[in-house]
Each structure stands twice: as structure tokens, then as C-alpha cells.
Amino acid sequence: MPSRQCVALSVFCLLVSHIRHEPVAPTQVESRAAGDVVDRHRHDNHQLIYVSTGVLAIQTERGAWVATPARAVWIPAGTWHEHRFYGRSAFHTVGFSVQRSPLPDTSPTILAVDSLVRELLVACTEPDLPPTEERRIRAVLHDRLRRADVQPLSLPTPRDRRLADACDLVTNDLTRPRSIDWLARAAGTSARTLTRLFRTEFGTTYPQWRTQIRVFHALVHLAGGATVTETAHRFGWATSSAFIDTFTRTMGQTPGAYRTAAMRAQIT
């Protein structure tokens, strides 16, 4: 019979075979269909990920992040990540040297994309762009990224088991507004402890986290063609107006405007 060490080594090799190491993060644009998945991989340089149309959910070991036409995701070098596309997407990626980084290299970051940054990202990823022109575009993009607003919409991965259990209970049924006391009992802890865990691990309160996860899923749902009213009910808002108010304050545009842009992108 094979030794335990041999069995463990075989399992490890099998797992590693499903993980891609791509040293250079490409600078390119691709067309992606709804439901497409890019398996778990990492790069030795930094990468900025953007979708000029569609929605992209990015999963890392630190949590989940969402890229939209108004927000890009910065992935530091060496960060394992995988992608899932919602709606037909124009997928732009720009690689950056670790020696000259416009943004921090400690954690994935959500960045607001204004009209100038959007055009720079689209131009920088044009096929067959002459090297001299690419260098000029990159120089301006580098300066603009250093001044970009950092956005809060992300879903960190909980480390503590009690917090993970509580998050799963909420995520599995976003229609029901579970109280912190109910969650604490269900997760086998106290409300005080659970409140502390939300603060220490996520840097937020439980209601703020629940709002983030509902908006996160609403982005995906709207991009798939659901109406504002359907989305509001599915993710636990009592009224459409309450959903519109929360979404607008979080994303900087109404859900109706966001849905219209996403639907237009599907047919262009």
C-alpha cells in the first residue's frame, strides 16, 4: 500500500494541476459571455481589471469583489483570483510592473472609474496598439490611478468559524432581515462577540455588511435582466423606493440607470 506521504503528495499535485501560474498579467481586451469563468490563477505583476460592459465577480482568498463599468478592481501581484462573468462583458486587463505601482500592493482594491480613466483603460487595451502610444497612455493612466477614489464595495472572507456561520445564514436567505441576536444564537455565540467579529474582521457593522452583500447580489441580478422591483423583493428591501435609495447611495447611480446600461451592452 502507498504510504501516507505518497498519498498526500499525489493529492497536492492534483490540486496544483488545477491552479494556473501566469507570470505576466496581460494587457488586453476580451469579449466574454454570461456565465464564463476564469479559473483560479495568479500573476507575478500587478493587474487592473475592468469591464466596460457587463459585471464581473472576482473571488480572492481575502474575499469577493465586483467590477462594473463604474468600478475597476486592483489585484496585487501574487494574489490568487478567479472570475465569473454576468451578462455579456468587454473584459479589460492592464498589467503593471511591481517596480512602478500606482496603487498599494497589500490588498485587492475597488476603484471608481470616471470618464477619463474609462477611456484610458479602453485605449490602453486596444489590439495592436503601437508601443510609443501605449507608453504615453500608460503614463497618464498611472497618474490618474494614483488619484482615484477607493470604493468600499467588497465582501471579505470571514476567518472566525462563528462569523463564517453567521454570514452563511444571511447569504442563504437575503429576503429575511435576521437580527444580530438571532444570528448569534444560531451561530453558537453571543451578540456582543458577533458584533465584535464584524468590527475586527470586516471593519464594519452587521447592518452595513448586510447592505453590502445585498447590493453586491443586486448588481449581478440587474445585469441579468431582472427589474428593479424584482431585485428589491428578492434581496429583502421592503419597498422599491428603499432599494433605489440604498443602491444609489452605494453605487452613485440608480438601479434603473445601471440596469439600462447593462441591458444596452447586451445588444451592442
* End-to-end Cα separation, the chain, in angstroms: 60
Domain final position from 154, 185, 213: 154
* Residue 148, domain member (yes or no): yes
Cell of 38: 476564469
207 and 134 belong to one structural domain? no
What does R_g of the chain's alpha carbons equal in angstroms?
A: 20
136 and 121 belong to one structural domain? yes
As to burial, measured by CB atoms within 10 angstroms (0-12 exposed, 13-18 middle, 19+ buried), residue 195 is: middle
* Residue 120, domain member (yes or no): yes
Which pTM was predicted? 0.71
Question: Could you tell me the residue range of the domain that residue 49 belongs to?
Answer: 19-154
* Residue 44, domain member (yes or no): yes
Q: Please count the structural domains in the chain.
A: 2
As to burial, measured by CB atoms within 10 angstroms (0-12 exposed, 13-18 middle, 19+ buried), residue 21 is: exposed
Q: 5-17 burial string, b = 16+ CB within 10 Å, else e?
A: eeeeeeeeeeeee
pLDDT tens, residue by residue, 225-248: 889 999 999 999 999 999 999 999
* Residue 257, domain member (yes or no): yes
143 and 59 belong to one structural domain? yes
**In tens digits, what is the pLDDT along the chain, a chain of 268 residues?**
455 544 444 443 444 444 566 678 899 999 998 889 999 999 999 999 999 888 888 988 878 888 888 889 999 999 999 998 987 889 999 999 998 889 888 888 888 888 899 999 999 999 999 999 999 999 999 999 988 877 656 678 898 999 999 999 999 999 988 999 999 999 999 999 999 999 999 888 999 999 989 998 898 888 778 899 999 999 999 999 999 999 998 877 899 988 887 666 555 5
